[in-house]
Amino acid sequence: MNKVSKMKFLGFFTFLLTLSEAAFAAGLPQLDFGIYPTQIFWTFVLFFVMYIVVGRFALPRVSNVVEDRKDKIEDDVTQAALMEKEANNLKLEYENAIDQVRSQAFALIKEESHKLDNEIIKWTKDLETKINERLKQADKRITKMKNDVLDDLQNLSQDITKDVVSKLTGKTVANDVVDDVVKEVIDGIQ
């Protein structure tokens, strides 16, 4: 600190000490009834000035801030309600789209299942037809083979019967008699 500022500080400090000595000499100021009217006057003046300052400057600013805040909150609530409504609409659209896709998928599955069923029925009928044709052909072959075997058996039986009768009796038997007997025995076998 420089000398001038030290001097100013000491002068101010001395002035304060002088004032405080005068205040102590007078006694307790709150009990001095002689200064009440001036204190009441200045209290009213101070409160009036504070009322004007607060009413004209501070209170309007605070009320503006409160109003702005209230408006902002109302706007936010309104926007939130709109966003909630929009979200609900989007949710409904999404659910409707899912339901539509699901129903289309079920319809497609049903249609494809029906097509497959028809193809299986057609394939089964074709297979049954082919199997029946092969069975008929096999039955014809078996019947032909059976008839051939029976014819061969009849011819062979006739020859054996003629030979056995001629060797046992020494006589020859007519072909018509042997044919009738062999036919009768073979017809009994069938």
Measured CA to CA, the distance from residue 15 to residue 17 in angstroms comes to 5
Q: What angle do CA 75, 76, 79 make, to 5 degrees?
A: 85
Q: What is the pLDDT of residue 70?
A: 93
- pLDDT one-digit tens code per residue, 156-178: 877 887 788 778 887 777 777 77
Q: Which residues contact 189 (CB under 8 A, 6 or more apart)?
A: none
The average pLDDT across 106-126 equals 90
Do 51 and 44 touch, CB atoms closer than 8 A? no
pLDDT at 33: 66
Task: Copy the structure tokens of residue 30.
Answer: 């709150």
Identify which has the larger pLDDT, 24 or 115: 115
pLDDT score, position 92? 92
Would you state the pLDDT for residue 18?
A: 62
Percent of the chain with pLDDT over 70: 84
Residue-level pLDDT at 184: 76
Amino acid at 124: T
pLDDT average, residue stretch 114-120: 90
Higher pLDDT, 132 or 177: 132
- Mean pLDDT throughout 114-129? 91
Query: What was the pLDDT predicted at 149?
Result: 81
173, 162 contact by CB (below 8 A) = yes
d(CA 60, CA 68): 12
Each residue's pLDDT tens digit, 20-40: 555 555 566 666 667 778 888
Locate the domains of the chain by residue range. 35-189
Contacts of 161 (CB under 8 A, 6+ apart): 173, 178, 181, 182
